[in-house]
Amino acid sequence: MIEKKKTKEIHVGNVIIGGKNPPVVQSMTKTDTRDVEATVKQIHQLEALGCEIIRVAVLDQDASEAIRKISKAIHIPLIADIHFDPSLAIESMKAGAKGVRINPGNIGGLRSLKRIVEVAKAEDCAIRIGVNSGSIEKELLKKYGGPVPDSMVESALGFVKVLEDLDFTNFKISLKSSNVLDTIKAYEKISHLTEYPLHIGITETGTLIPGTVKSSVGLGILLMRGIGDTIRVSLCSQPHHEVVVAYEILRALEIRKRGPEIIACPTCGRCEIDLVGLAEKVEASLSYLDLPIKVAVMGCVVNGPGEAREADIGIAGGRGTGIIFKKGRLLKKVKEEDLLKEFLKEITSVMEHPQDTSGRTDR
């Protein structure tokens, strides 16, 4: 089991981050925050998949004002993402945001930071010091020869000192770069130098496949070393993928489990049904269930049930047919076109009688 590094506990609304608590899953909306209806709809979708904190981009006063309505219509704490304008951070917190993500390097200097901290204290909000490789102070770029891990870490620690001097400690830190190795080095370094919780993520990773690979490698290595109090997978893809991939990373490392675990064979010449299509449909149908069962989707009866013996329930394809099995034992044989429907019916029965996984061989 992976031992997480103990950090200082902070809170974003009612969500505790840090300490020995497992990493919290965050995401960010891809809607125009001023469109309250679309933003709330997207947040509800992400909540249903297990998103625990949501961040929205705040570009102007209309967006900060929209937070008033959005935060009342959702069930998880909202963080406002602000660049350049400290007034937007202040207005967002007053409108119901439970935290702000700022890049202290572009928020207007010490005076602006002081104003933000005062309001964060008054409204019981959290702050994320979000250092990006693209916005490090000029002196540090000169000192280290560029946006390297050392300059990111020194930049973040400088702002840690500023917040501590302002007697504010309800904050976390992120150091993001699109370079996976730089991100790992930066987080490893800062985790030895501070006890404040770390929000980890790889930024600008790309579309679904490269983004998932970069995030899995980068976040996986950090989590394996006990680093990471909240995680966000950034993907140029459909919003729900970020949350799904985040939980799959945590599941693979046995840190957190959410929803059914779906195993599927890669298919081969023995497969005589559309297994890829079927596996995708099973995944989509079960994605909103928070049920700790293992589900198998296998291409053939020759090896499928045996290979997936530890699955609670599964499907194995045949010629225009398929079987449904429980714990590796045959339950029933159905036509290919009825397979998904019958399978989902059996899943419902497993949900209603979770202890009954004995299997039947009477058909």
Contact between 204 and 178 under an 8 Å Cβ cutoff? The reply is yes
Report d(CA 363, CA 337) in Å as an integer: 19
For ligand SF4, the binding residue among 303, 321, 349, 357 (CB under 6 A) is 303
Radius of gyration of the chain (CA): 23
Cβ of residue 301: shortest distance to ligand SF4, in angstroms?
Answer: 8
Instruction: Show the tokens assigned to 243.
Output: 């949350």
Residue 297 interacting with ligand SF4 (CB under 6 A): no
Residue corresponding to tokens 């890669």: 266
Residue 270 interacting with ligand SF4 (CB under 6 A): yes
Sort 44 into a burial class: Cβ within 10 Å, 0-12 / 13-18 / 19+.
Answer: middle
| Residues in a beta bridge with 321 | 335
User: In this chain, which stretch among 126-134, 210-218, 298-306, 333-341 interacts with ligand SF4, using CB under 6 A?
Assistant: 298-306
Handedness of CA 232, 252, 214, 236 (dihedral sign): negative
Sort 263 into a burial class: Cβ within 10 Å, 0-12 / 13-18 / 19+.
Answer: middle
For ligand SF4, the binding residue among 96, 304, 314, 318 (CB under 6 A) is 304
Cβ of residue 333: shortest distance to ligand SF4, in angstroms?
Answer: 16
Residue 302 interacting with ligand SF4 (CB under 6 A): yes
Instruction: Show the tokens assigned to 174.
Output: 């992120």
Residue 33 main-chain phi, psi, to 5 deg: -60, -25
Contact between 74 and 99 under an 8 Å Cβ cutoff? The reply is no
For ligand SF4, the binding residue among 40, 271, 295, 334 (CB under 6 A) is 271
Residues 6+ apart with CB under 8 A from 32: 38, 39, 63
User: In this chain, which stretch among 248-256, 259-267, 286-294, 338-346 interacts with ligand SF4, using CB under 6 A?
Assistant: 259-267
For ligand SF4, the binding residue among 77, 147, 197, 299 (CB under 6 A) is 299
Residue 319 interacting with ligand SF4 (CB under 6 A): no
Q: Of 26-45, which residues contact ligand SF4 (CB under 6 A)? A: none
User: In this chain, which stretch among 10-18, 125-133, 173-181, 299-307 interacts with ligand SF4, using CB under 6 A?
Assistant: 299-307
| Nearest residue (beta carbon) to ligand SF4 | 299
Instruction: Tell me the site size for ligand SF4, rule CB under 6 A.
Output: 13
Counting every residue written for the chain, the total comes to: 363
Report d(CA 323, CA 117) in Å as an integer: 61
Residue 265 interacting with ligand SF4 (CB under 6 A): yes
> Residue 189 in 3-state DSSP?
helix
DSSP codes, 159-176: HHHHHHHTT---EEEEEE
Residue 293 interacting with ligand SF4 (CB under 6 A): no
Residue 247 or 343 having the CB closest to ligand SF4: 343
Residue 311 interacting with ligand SF4 (CB under 6 A): no
User: In this chain, which stretch among 2-10, 91-99, 196-204, 263-271 interacts with ligand SF4, using CB under 6 A?
Assistant: 263-271
Residue 298 interacting with ligand SF4 (CB under 6 A): yes
User: In this chain, which stretch among 73-81, 188-196, 301-309, 324-332 interacts with ligand SF4, using CB under 6 A?
Assistant: 301-309
Cβ of residue 320: shortest distance to ligand SF4, in angstroms?
Answer: 15
Residue 314 interacting with ligand SF4 (CB under 6 A): no
Contact between 64 and 96 under an 8 Å Cβ cutoff? The reply is no
Cβ of residue 317: shortest distance to ligand SF4, in angstroms?
Answer: 7
Contacts to ligand SF4 by CB under 6 A: 265-268, 270-271, 298-300, 302-304, 307
